[in-house]
Amino acid sequence: MSREKELIEVINKQMPRSSSQVNHLFESDAEIVTFHGKGLLYNIDEFSEEDLFREDDPYRLGWNMAIGSISDILASGGIPKFYAHSMVVRDSWSTEYIEKLARGIAQVIKEAGAAFIGGDFGISKTWRYTGSVIGELASKSLLRSGAKVGDRIYITGGIGRGNVEAALRLYGDNLLVKSLTGGWKNLLRLRNKEAELIRKYSRCCIDTSDGVFNALRTISEMSSTGFFVDNLPYVKSGLILAKTLNLPKEMLFLGECGEYELLFTLSEKGEEEFLRIAKEQKLTFHKIGVVKELGSQILWEKGREIDLRAYDLRARDYSDPKDYLRKVVNFLKEAAK
């Protein structure tokens, strides 16, 4: 168990709980409660420099943080309704910068069909942002548990966009990287349309805020299952960047700066109808694997099997992200032997 998870459990044991809460600890991306006969969802997410979002474009920074705040509601089967935040801006940011940051946040809220209801504001030497979202349950709630052996595993978009953002922050001074990536916007995607279909057919769902591998491992832990994944849809920018930096592309899968896509499972029986409707609605989903028996955690790449059962690296355990990345590279080199 990670130190973070251990401390969450310690804190949770001290807190009074409500009989109206539907989900157990860690069981869903958002907290789910029944209130006056209705299902409501609540989420809160904090962002800071540690999340490795680039800061040169304030609109992109605001957009990406708002996507990260709303995705948990979508992953839990909800419709975002109300959005609040606590915004602490850096004292060196100009009024124009802050206006563009707010514009990025606002655009996501509008496109999600939600409304801003207020929040808190401060100024400091370092910036912090906390997004808080209230959603309404459309029909059934979606949990991280519920996957069954034989289910198909799908994702709403390409893998690695969040890790690309982190790499551009970490290696942005590399002249070759700068020349190749200078115009990359790298906006995270809002998946509210896809979420409408997912909540009708999926057995379970999670967003990939901590990366695709961690999402798969969480679903496996909560459902007492395993997984086999292959033919991963890496984003093109990630493949280019990996080649430029001479890093294995699998880091886009293992890395923990997630792309906030929705990862979900479908029963074999419901898969055909789901894909037919998705095609009619012109929605794209990527099949990346299948749910296996407990104890199986396999990534199939380049005709070889990478067994991930022993993989236990966590970015939060390293003060320097580059030390963590070196460890991941070493793991992949050893796995390739």
Helix (H) or strand (E) holding 52: none
Q: What's the confidence (pLDDT) of residue 2?
A: 78
What residue ranges do the domains of the chain occupy?
18-137, 151-335
Q: pLDDT (tens digit, 9 = 90+) per residue, 155-210?
A: 999 999 999 999 999 988 887 777 777 677 889 999 999 999 999 999 999 999 99
- CA 323 to chain CA centroid, Å, is 22
Mean pLDDT of the chain: 94
Rounded CA gap, 155 and 206, in Å? Answer: 10
Domain 18-137: CATH class, spelled out:
alpha beta
Spatial contact of 80 and 68, defined as CB atoms under 8 Å apart: no
Q: What's the confidence (pLDDT) of residue 67?
A: 98
CATH T-level fold of 151-335: Phosphoribosyl-aminoimidazole Synthetase; Chain A, domain 2 (3.90.650)
Q: pLDDT (tens digit, 9 = 90+) per residue, 217-257?
A: 999 999 999 999 999 999 999 999 999 999 999 999 999 99
- Token pair listed for 46: 């904090």
Taking residues 59-76, report their average pLDDT.
98
Q: What's the confidence (pLDDT) of residue 314?
A: 93
In a 13 Å sphere around the CA of 27, the CA atoms on its Cβ side amount to: 14
Rounded CA gap, 38 and 182, in Å? Answer: 47
Q: What's the confidence (pLDDT) of residue 142?
A: 96
Q: What's the confidence (pLDDT) of residue 176?
A: 78
Rounded CA gap, 101 and 58, in Å? Answer: 4
- Token pair listed for 58: 């304030």
Same CATH fold, 151-335 and 18-137? no
